[in-house]
Amino acid sequence: MADNAVAWEMLEAELVGLLSNDPTQFRGLQMVSLPIDALWNNLDWGLWLSFETADNIPLWGPVYQASVGNHITDAYLAFLTNIDASALDNDAANETKNLGPQLSAAHDELQKARKQISVEWSDFNNRQKNLPPQSQQNFDTWFTQFWGQKMNVLQNNYQSLADQWVAAANKAGGDYQVLAQAMQDYNNPDFQFQVKDLGGATQPYRMWNLTPFLGDFVSEAQAGRGSAFSLKINNQSDTSSVTSWGGSTDSNLDLGLIGIGAGENFQRTSVDTSSQNFAIAFSAKSFTGIQIMAGQWFHQNVVIQFQNGPFIASGPFGPGKAVFFGPTGTFNLAKTTVYVAYQPSIVAAVDPAAYSQVKQAWNAGQHVAIGPFSFGGGRSSASDQAIFDDTNQTMTFASSSPHPQIIAVNCTILPG
């Protein structure tokens, strides 16, 4: 195993040991390799970001990577509409199957419109910022003028098809009635919430519950009442993995534990984990796991009950076609816990080559990341501190950022 993977495997094993005596809970653990701030406590758009984070299906593997446009809410609807359930009335069952593609298409059109609304409002709002306040439009006024009628048509079309689908499923009887109830709850407006996004557009989103609330965690940490975090790795640390990613579990972890720079200039630096002096101590003023749970629109029991289908043979998930679960599935992971740390610190003894690269980068004002933690190089971390001990090749970093940093994400490997 390459040294790069060894360092990450050490960190993963130590983290699992710290979190629980039952390692089987972490089959879907993903380490954060590119530092990410947790910003869900932003008073303006934080709730939207928390919903978006919860809804996004990450890429399969031991490293956390958000996918582009792959969401639980969309995949769940596709799952419900592609099940070939047992029925008492075959004609009604066939009607349900025929309505499925129409309902999915209407859903896609609705989602596409909502994305476009977000983009167009953001552009419009940016252009009007130089106008006097009394001349500016708020989102509701703008929406009514430019999108209200179009969205009513799209929403009514979608809801009409959903109602027809539910009525046909109930008429079909058998297991279709289970799906009918799931579809009713999926579209129940009581399980949706109006949320303002990053650009200021306010639209309905299916609800997610994240506990504890990130703002409460930060307040407790700032008051010195948080739960401290501490773990260490060295050349004797265990590298065994409890995850279930299949194949060579270290393949996506073959990354330098140290990162320098940001964006396109972000570069990895290897560390020699076999060095006699290799040791890294990770700590933080406060640490917690943010639990994620879907709202009442989601029925986990339905996913488990119909995990093996059968799926409609002529549909996109019929035999030999796309799959919902497993490494190549479209509905394979759901976040259950996001682990965050407030103002982390690191003391690292590394090989001379790594030490020299990091010191040079820091003195040049560059961003430095060690494992999941980030220091310097940004406005929120401008007062981060670093101390370099040339004699012992030891470096100490301390974050003063007001934003918690994400360490790892634990996922349920669906169907659960």
Q: What is the pLDDT of residues 160-206, one digit of tens each?
A: 999 999 999 999 999 999 999 999 999 999 999 999 999 999 999 99
**Do residues 324 and 361 touch, judged by C-beta distance below 8 A?**
no
Residue 67 counted as domain residue = no
Residue 184 counted as domain residue = yes
* pLDDT confidence of residue 266: 82
Residues 82, 227 within the same domain? no
Residues 32, 139 within the same domain? no
User: Who contacts 132 (Cβ-Cβ below 8 Å, separation ≥6)?
Assistant: none
Domain boundary among 308, 326, 344: 326
Residues 115, 190 within the same domain? yes
Judged against a pLDDT cut of 60, whether residue 28 lies above it is answered with yes
Taking only the tens place, the pLDDT of each residue in 104-122 is 999 999 999 999 999 999 9
DSSP string, 200-219: S-EEEEE-EEEES-HHHHHH
Residues 42, 114 within the same domain? no
**Do residues 364 and 373 touch, judged by C-beta distance below 8 A?**
no
* pLDDT confidence of residue 378: 65
Residues 396, 274 within the same domain? yes
Query: How far is the C-alpha of 91 from the C-alpha of 87, rounded, in Å?
Result: 9
Beta-bridge mates of residue 71: 56
Residues 339, 192 within the same domain? no
* Least confident segment among 159-173, 202-216, 352-366: 352-366
Neighbours of 84 (CB within 10 A): 20
Residue 65 counted as domain residue = no
Residue 118 domain boundaries: 72-206+294-326
Residues 157, 278 within the same domain? no
Residues 86, 54 within the same domain? no
**Do residues 271 and 3 touch, judged by C-beta distance below 8 A?**
yes
**Do residues 282 and 335 touch, judged by C-beta distance below 8 A?**
no
Query: How far is the C-alpha of 212 from the C-alpha of 89, rounded, in Å?
Result: 46
Query: How far is the C-alpha of 381 from the C-alpha of 101, rounded, in Å?
Result: 49
Residues 251, 301 within the same domain? no
Bigger pLDDT: 223 or 20? Answer: 223
Residue 319 counted as domain residue = yes
Residues 79, 180 within the same domain? yes
Residues 255, 390 within the same domain? yes
What sign results for the dihedral spanned by CA atoms 192, 194, 197, 199?
positive
Query: How far is the C-alpha of 330 from the C-alpha of 315, rounded, in Å?
Result: 14
Count of domains observed in the chain? 2
* Least confident segment among 16-30, 34-48, 116-130, 251-265: 251-265
Residue 352 counted as domain residue = yes
